Structure 1
Amino acid sequence: MIYGDSNLVVQQTMMTCDAVSDTMIAYRDMYNTLEGTYDGCELAHVSRASNEEADHLANLGSTRAAVPPGVFLEIIHQRSIKENNVTISVKKSPNSDPTADSAVLPDNPANEQAAAGAVEVLAIEPTWMKPLLAYMLEQELPEDTTEARRVMRRSKAFTVINGKLYKRSVFGIFQRCISLEEGHDILLDIHQGTCGHHAGSKTIVAKAFRAGFYWPTALLDAQAIVSKCETCQMFATKPHAPASELKTTPIA
């Protein structure tokens, strides 16, 4: 018996719910393959109120406490599934070499090296983290005096763990600092994703922070998402106030 805290994942794996995402389909196929090596296997959903073990482990991870005896810790750095490679189509000229197609095939080593190089470029720390990391790791400050004071003041709320920047929340939870693009995607998924319910801006920001993420423009990004959401605008509460100020009518 395998227990999971995501009811959607459990239903998709047990074939009671259709899997639409390519990533989830790949994970489900891997589960079906591994299931054949056992005499029997079944997934069951555990509600949040009954999932005390997961809450205890989450608290250990957020506080960076020592792992208690009897608890096995495994750090997974790579996905269990292999992502589908995309074949790039190139329009060939009449005098082109027929063997030139190998340069765009997914299994081409040169193409894999180019993809790996692209990933390394995208892994550069975002701009808003650079001054904090430079000051906390190498004691480097911006040339501007005002900006340097601002960096020194803000650095008191942050810490560096394994080269990654974390923010200490008021509840003692370490929130991993992410880029603005990643934060926008997280808010979009919380707001109108598979389990999204089109909540307000403050609600989805609070959910993102409770999940252990932080970026400085979270509230502004959430307000922009909610204000541009077509469904939210369609079913929002309509004001009944008049469009213009009321005018008094003189009585003769």
Structure 2
Amino acid sequence: MLINPEGQEFTYALRFKFSTTNNEAEYEALLAGLRIAKVMKIEHLQAFVDSQLVANQVLGIFEARQSIIQLYLSKVRELVESFRSFTIGHVRRSQNKKADALSKLASITFAHPAKEALVEVLEKRSIEAQEVHDLIIEEENTWMKPLREYLELEILPEDKKEARKIRIKAPSYKIMNGALYRKSFLTPWLRCVGPNQASMIIREMHEGICGLHSGPRSIVAKMLRMGYYWPTMHEDTVTLLRTCEPCQIHAKVQKQPKQDMISVLSA
């Protein structure tokens, strides 16, 4: 059960598709609550768990000896760093009848659960590593580097003119979750991308699954609506579209003879 700062209660249950011990289930529930609180932008969090062992391990009173529990504990401490303050306590089952009823509710299979009870099905453990590979690798020296250095470290270029440009541009940019974004007045924050990603985005918008081989202005407007930005969007789009072979083959060709040719033939 989650309680927001306004005092509203949110009933939330987990159903596991894998075998687990009681302590592992307690850690899964704790991690789920921490993830939800992080998404809700909560700064000060107070958590209660049924297991005194889990509470004392998170507090550092007890030592985690099993390898799986150590992984769970490491994951919890990683998420705890997202909050300005965090406390955890133990509550007895006899004093927490709602949570006990909720644990039985999650084990019941039904097609239409009540709106007040949200049941999430976990296919695998939260501690299982997920390998993520970047499809496109950007170079270090891109147009974003001076802006990131100024926003993160307040480092400016040695050239006074370039430094002045960075100071003027900086208020329109912001770093969120490690990525650079640009402010937009008509759409949400635009994700800034480098040249390699920009080339892939243009090709996907122009000739990808949903591409219609549109013109540069249409492609640039579509990319902005999708939430991407880089300074030379229009120029890069025009340059790349000139190399599109289907566009060259099916382009409209002027077949009517020019006026000077008509005069020559008539003479």
TM-score, length-normalised on structure 1? 0.48
Bigger Rg, which one: 2
Higher normalized contact order (CA 8 Å, seq sep 6+, divided by chain length): 2
